[in-house]
Amino acid sequence: MSEDTFRWVITAGVGLSWLIMAVMAGATLGIYRASKRLEEKVTPLLEKAGVVVDKARSIIDEAAPKIRDMVDKAQEMTATAREQVMRLDALVTETSERARLQIDRIEIAVDDTVNRVQETTHAVQSTVLKPVREVNGVVSGLRAAIATLARGNRASVDHATQDEEMFI
């Protein structure tokens, strides 16, 4: 390449870099101005936020002992409730065991009573009803004998045949 061409290329490169530097300087100036405007808008907000943060901190500082107290009381209540539940569990267990024993005793007593009632029924049937049946049989026999003797006549053959036919 010739020397004149080389100089023009260098000149163009220097001019191009100067142009790029000017654009970068303009962009930097634009960023600076935008950040200043943003700072002007944010500064009042930061002051207000600082006040809010201070108030929140004071509220938290005031509430912290109360919260600790509530947590302590809740732990005490939980411990007391746990003890009461354990006592109640022991009471229910003991009561159910006693109830189970009483139910077993009642069951034995009821079984014994049922057996005695059955024995009594059998004894009544064998000692009272058996003689009553025997007496009833004797009385029935006496009635039949008296009825037969009271009739006096013997039944006719027709009547006897009729009686026999009834049994056939």
DSSP code string of 28-55 = HHHHHHHHHHHHHHHHHHHHHHHHHHHH
Domain boundaries, the chain: 1-39, 68-150
DSSP code string of 90-134 = HHHHHHHHHHHHHHHHHHHHHHHHHHHHHHHHHHHIIIIIHHHHH
pLDDT tens figures, 15-40: 999 999 999 999 999 999 999 999 88
User: Does pTM top 0.75 for this prediction?
Assistant: no
pLDDT tens figures, 133-149: 888 888 888 888 888 78
